[in-house]
């Protein structure tokens, strides 16, 4: 990954931050995308730049705003004409039973987790198509594979990400662009602890390794899929879930 140009969305916390740290350690130059600037995020970027001697450029845009997404992509492409890796990590969670899920909330979840990702990927993948190389990694979820009560919005959006991943792998393979997704199980992050303790216990009882994933374990899986070690892997949905059973 040394000196490769990598875009990471949702890089300011949780899994996204862990992904940024892994790529920085590997020597990549990073465009770290987040919704807004914070002092903590800026300080983290400066620490990683100094520690690993890489370039990290913060890019700010709101995934609910298509004009801002386009402006963010334009900013990135004004700095570099070559993009090696795109990691679509940003997303939001929402739980609610079918009859209790407002359509507006469903639209919001899909806008962030799916439609905005599609738009941003369209803009960035055109560069990859011209250079005839690239790697796209989407953050899906086991929630998009297994059906559980209360996850209509989130699960449906992640199922769409899985289908998108497979479709893009077929369409973009002719340009030497690989497209894969990670489907994490329960991860020890702020989003992972949105569930109640009772829900978490039930999930862990269905997980052979009997624990939550560390965010670095997810980030290392992303780094693997972006590496030359995965050069013949595309269209894959890699579950990183501790063997979670339905």
| 186 contacts 204 by C-beta, under 8 angstroms | yes
| 154 contacts 110 by C-beta, under 8 angstroms | no
d(CA 9, CA 72): 11
What 8-state DSSP symbol labels residue 112?
I
81: which residues sit within 8 A by CB, 6+ positions away?
127
Active site residues: 154
Q: Which two three-digit tokens encode residue 63?
A: 């995934």
d(CA 14, CA 114): 19
Which residue in 83, 81, 63, 82 sits closest to 72, CA to CA? 63
Residue 44: its H or E element: helix 39-52
| 223 contacts 26 by C-beta, under 8 angstroms | yes
Distances in whole angstroms, Cα of residue 38 to Cα of each of 32, 58, 74? 13, 11, 22
What 8-state DSSP symbol labels residue 231?
T
- β-partners of residue 59 are 33
């Amino acid at each position: 990954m040394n000196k490769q140009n990598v875009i990471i969305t949702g890089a300011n916390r949780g899994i996204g931050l862990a992904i940024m740290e892994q790529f920085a350690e590997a020597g990549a130059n990073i465009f770290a995308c987040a919704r807004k600037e914070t002092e903590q995020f800026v300080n983290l970027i400066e620490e990683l730049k100094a520690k690993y001697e890489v370039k990290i450029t913060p890019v700010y845009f709101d995934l609910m705003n298509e004009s801002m997404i386009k402006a963010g992509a334009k900013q990135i492409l004004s700095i570099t004409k070559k993009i090696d890796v795109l990691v679509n990590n940003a997303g939001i969670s929402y739980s609610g039973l079918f009859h209790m899920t407002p359509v507006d909330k469903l639209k919001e979840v899909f806008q962030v987790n799916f439609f905005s990702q599609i738009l941003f990927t369209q803009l960035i993948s055109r560069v990859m198509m011209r250079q005839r190389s690239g790697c796209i990694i989407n953050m899906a979820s086991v929630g998009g594979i297994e059906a559980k009560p209360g996850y209509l919005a989130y699960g449906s959006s992640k199922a769409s990400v899985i289908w998108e991943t497979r479709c893009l792998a077929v369409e973009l393979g002719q340009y030497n662009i690989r497209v894969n997704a990670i489907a994490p199980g329960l991860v020890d992050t702020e989003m992972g602890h949105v569930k109640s303790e009772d829900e978490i216990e039930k999930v862990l009882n269905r997980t052979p390794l009997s624990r939550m994933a560390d965010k670095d374990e997810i980030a290392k899986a992303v780094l693997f899929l972006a590496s030359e070690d995965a050069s013949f892997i595309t269209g894959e949905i890699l579950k990183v879930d501790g063997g979670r059973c339905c």
